Amino acid sequence: MLLSAPELIAHVDKLKGVANKQFAAGRHHEACARYARGRRILRLVAAETEAETELESHSQLSLALHLNGAACALQTERHAEAITLCDAALALAPESTKALYRKAVALLALAREAEAESAFAEVIKLEPRNREANEQLRTLRERRAAAAAEKPGAGPKAPADSAATLATERAAMAAMSGAELVARVAKLKATANELFGSGQHQQACAHYDLGRNALEGVTSDEVSAGERHQLEELSLALHLNGAACALRTERHAEALTLCDAALVLSPKSTKARYRRGVALRALGREAEAEAAFAEVLKVEPRNREASEQLRSLRQA
């Protein structure tokens, strides 16, 4: 029995509800498939939708499916697809800040920085207090200014306040005792964790980098056995958290390097293996990613994220 247009719209709305739950549970590939199925069904019924209330329901549902599909595509590193979905969402709702922001994130991942900067600026025009867009725009403009300052003939580069602060920290830590270094690096890590938790990923990455750099120059004869153990634990955490930061900022090769260093420190670390798998997949090295996720499951058979990643890779 064929369903009417209102019945099909209701069916798609249920599909969206299921996909939303899958997305929230980290089952991103399954959610993506359901959002895509919902969009296909809506395209088929578009010609049959005539009543004004049906048209409104169709338009709102289509917008949600495109926005949520874009979020899904970003989570699964399909950035070109995310841009296409955002553009379709903007055709339905030209002032959608969600669409503009997600498009900007996808553009940034594809190294289309000028377009990304423009999109983040459009978000801020509509929502001046949007924290994520302001942070992204500030980071992009700082990066552009730094690149311009490094060009031949640009003159000496004046470091940003954050860069100057980190340079001062680096110099101070070089003269610290083992106990002082443990305390300072632990504080740096805590600050970085807070920055990461609040979405300030670029700044968090800089703090994790500073902590790792400070520890690299420490030799075993400079610290006690207890301090050395503490510094090794801090080094592992800084590499793991730095890898998470690198993944969030789309620096996948860097994330891979950090995960490899973490595995030298802790060969059975499932966090390092999982994040390594995510980085490998983003770099198109799917066979290696599959092996990394399989290694996670050997140690943690019930690891939901690794199981989901492995299943989607094997179904591809």
Token pair for 280: 């490998």
Q: Which of 203, 190, 286 is nearest to 248 (CA)?
A: 203
Report domain extents, the chain: 5-149, 161-315
CB 157 within 8 A of CB 149: yes
> Which bin fits 133, alpha (ψ -120 to 50), beta or left (φ > 0)?
alpha
**pTM of this prediction?**
0.49
Backbone angles phi, psi at 32, to 5 degrees: -55, -45
Residue 79 CB coordination number (10 Å): 22
Residue 170's SS3 state is: helix
In this chain, the answer to whether the domains covering 5-149 and 161-315 adopt an identical fold is yes
CATH class of 161-315: mainly alpha
Return the DSSP state at 3. P
CATH of domain 5-149: 1.25.40.10
Token pair for 187: 């504080």
- Going from the C-alpha of 280 to that of each of 87, 100, 166, 290, 310, the distances in angstroms are 28, 28, 30, 9, 13
**DSSP assignment of 52-83:** HHHHHHHHHHHHHHHHHHHHHHHHTT-HHHHH
- From first to last of its 316 residues, what are the pLDDT tens digits of the chain? 467 777 888 888 999 999 999 988 888 888 989 999 988 888 876 555 555 555 566 788 999 999 999 999 898 888 888 999 999 999 999 999 999 999 999 888 887 888 888 999 999 999 998 888 888 888 888 777 766 655 554 433 333 444 555 555 555 655 667 688 788 888 889 998 998 888 888 888 888 888 887 776 565 566 678 888 888 899 999 999 999 998 988 888 889 999 999 999 999 999 999 999 999 988 888 899 999 999 999 999 999 999 999 888 887 6
At position 122, the amino acid (one-letter code) is: E
Q: Is 22 exposed, middle or buried (0-12, 13-18, 19+ CB in 10 A)?
A: buried
> Which residues 6+ apart lie within 8 Å of 189 measured at CB?
207, 208, 211, 234, 237, 238, 241
